[in-house]
């Protein structure tokens, strides 16, 4: 069954270039009406112009699609609310939000300033919250929504010189997990995309031959599935060079100690058991870990009675 977006309305932030542009073009190609949002600044977040967003809108319209340009910053709550209102005024609804806007302030941790950290957190994490907040109640009212947050291998696994970026990119995964739980009864499905793509944000960081393989278009292929009617929810999808994989936040079975056994030495003795990946599981919510720990502790005490 072909995936189409006829009668759907999407907002893509940071869509004036790179991944955001290909996301917007791919959605429009399959019938979606798209708000192309982009501050129009450089990779560090400096400057601003609606020009890049308008250029993508021109591409969409030249191909017979419908789009609106928006030059607001995702860090501005009033501007994000106005952007959503503009989409609703023209098309009556917002079905899809792709949180893609981002900046880089790469430095080793020793050289990173608080301003470097705050700027990246502000756009990636706080900006994702603000843009999502602007569409959330609307999606609840219409009982339909598809939201994607953009994570990164830097957040999931770490990357030298990106303490700020990595912290933000894992932060949006935590946001995604909770939004999935709160949105599921309204058919709001929330997922995370962890892309590997050759864009101006990764230029110079990736070898030239690999850069050529990592087309933004290949990542957008996975994005389209994440925002489709049949989308999953609470998925972390890695995508790059036409390859796709799932990342999970999982937990080992672990063990329980009795009150009179509690000591760091007792944990150390059983470290191999603790670190073994055998029996790995993926909790559905935070309380499940608490329940597991209490159950294990109760069972252990019962064995000793």
- Active site residue ranges: 165
- Measured CA to CA, the distance from residue 44 to residue 165 in angstroms comes to 12
* Positions of E strands within 113-268: 145-150, 188-195, 236-240, 243-247
- Measured in degrees and rounded to the nearest 5, phi and psi for residue 96 equal -135, 135
Q: Report the 10 Å Cβ neighbour count for 114.
A: 8
Half-sphere exposure of 179 (CA within 13 A, CB side): 28
Closest by Cα among 87, 49, 51 to 68: 87
- Measured in degrees and rounded to the nearest 5, phi and psi for residue 81 equal -65, -40
- Measured in degrees and rounded to the nearest 5, phi and psi for residue 135 equal -105, -10
Find out whether 55 and 39 touch, Cβ atoms under 8 Å.
no
Beta-carbon contacts of 68 under 8 Å, excluding residues fewer than 6 positions away, are 34, 35, 36, 57, 86, 87, 90
Find out whether 155 and 203 touch, Cβ atoms under 8 Å.
no
SS3 86: helix
Beta-carbon contacts of 261 under 8 Å, excluding residues fewer than 6 positions away, are none
């Amino acid at each position: 069954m072909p995936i189409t977006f006829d009668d759907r309305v999407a907002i893509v932030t940071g869509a004036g270039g790179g991944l955001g542009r290909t996301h917007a073009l791919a959605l429009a190609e399959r019938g979606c009406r798209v708000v192309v949002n982009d501050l129009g600044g450089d990779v560090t977040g400096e400057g601003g112009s609606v020009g890049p967003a308008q250029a993508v809108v021109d591409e969409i319209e030249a191909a017979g699609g419908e789009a609106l340009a928006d030059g607001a910053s995702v860090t501005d709550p009033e501007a994000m609310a106005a952007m959503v209102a503009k989409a609703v005024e023209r098309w009556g609804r917002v079905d899809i939000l792709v949180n893609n806007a981002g900046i880089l302030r790469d430095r080793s941790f020793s050289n990173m300033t608080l301003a470097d950290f705050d700027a990246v957190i502000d756009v990636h994490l706080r900006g994702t919250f603000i843009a999502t907040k602007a569409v959330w109640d609307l999606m609840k009212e219409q009982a339909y929504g598809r939201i994607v947050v953009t994570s990164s291998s830097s957040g999931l696994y770490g990357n030298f010189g990106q303490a700020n970026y990595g912290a933000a990119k894992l932060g949006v995964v935590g946001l995604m997990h909770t939004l999935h739980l709160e949105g599921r009864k309204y058919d709001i499905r929330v997922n995370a995309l962890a892309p590997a793509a050759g864009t101006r944000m990764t230029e110079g960081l990736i070898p030239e031959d690999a850069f050529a393989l990592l087309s933004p278009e290949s990542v957008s292929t996975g994005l389209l599935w994440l925002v489709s009617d049949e989308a999953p929810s609470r998925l972390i999808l890695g995508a790059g060079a036409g390859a796709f994989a799932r990342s999970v936040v999982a937990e080992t079975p672990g063990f329980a100690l009795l009150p009179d056994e509690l000591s760091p030495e007792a944990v150390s003795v059983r470290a191999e058991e603790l670190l073994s990946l055998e029996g790995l599981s993926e909790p559905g919510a935070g309380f499940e870990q608490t329940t597991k720990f209490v159950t294990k502790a109760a069972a252990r005490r019962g064995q000793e009675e």
